[in-house]
Amino acid sequence: MTHTRWLRTLIERLLAARLRRELRGLPTPAHLGLIMDGNRRWARSVGVDDIRFGHRAGAEHLDRVLTWCAQAGICAVSVYVLSADNIAKRDDAQVTFLFHLLETLILDRLRRPDGLWELHVAGNLDLVPDATARALKEAVDATRGRPRRLTLAVGYDPYGDVVDAVRQVLWEGADRGDSADDVARTLEPEAIDARVAAPDDDIDLIIRTSGERRLSGYFPWRSVRAELLFCDVYWPGFRELDLLRALRTYGRRARPARSRL
């Protein structure tokens, strides 16, 4: 380690220690949302033209960030991995590589015996290769019962999620013999809430890296009351210091406890 890098690391550790002290007594988000953006731009910023380098670095970094989240007392994390729109529009070779990283890197690390995170998946697995779908299901089984909850959005369609929930309400009403008018007159938000895709509870804070200022369809039903924080660093460069600063911002903004609906 060079002297400059050593000094930078020392300063970051001192700043992180100070931030942890500042966080004492502040509300902590029970449920954190992460939009991991900027992998390709990060690769170019460090002089690598192969975007696979950035995606691999980003996938590896998730494990590190989840450790920081656990240490900060966050009980649930939801991560946007690949939307249905991403799968449809991105280059086939790039999507294939992302599925490979999901199977062989992210899921392998989640399945470790000492892992803390119980895996849930939100999305249409019919859109992913059979091997990926099988790996996801196996990881869900392998991590069941762990103390913290991780939801990965894979093949997730934000419009379809809400539409499918409404369809379920209508179909269940029809099975009971209710008319469409009966269902419409009695429909309450709780009915939709119970039927949208995982995660099962509202997101308190959403962090998007790379400087982009949009949600890109990130769990619309669950993010309606979330605090939003847009971080200018690319995802592979997102530091524990950045997470702690985001948590401090959230703690200072946070309102009194809210109901889910």
Residues 6+ apart with CB under 8 A from 89: none
- CA separation for the pair 34, 79 (Å, rounded): 5
Active-site residue list? 37, 86
Cα-flanking dihedrals φ and ψ of residue 88, to 5°? -75, -35
Q: Are 236 and 214 in contact (CB under 8 A)?
A: no
Q: How far apart are CA 196 and CA 215, in angstroms?
A: 18
Residue closest to 122 by CA, chosen among 95, 168, 160, 148: 160
User: What does the angle CA 252 – CA 258 – CA 261 come to, to the nearest 5 degrees?
Assistant: 135
Is residue 84 helix, strand or coil? helix
CA-wise closest residue to 197 among 243, 258, 155: 155
Question: Which structure tokens are listed for 139?
Answer: 């990881």
DSSP secondary structure letter of residue 221: T
For 198, the token pair is 């995982």
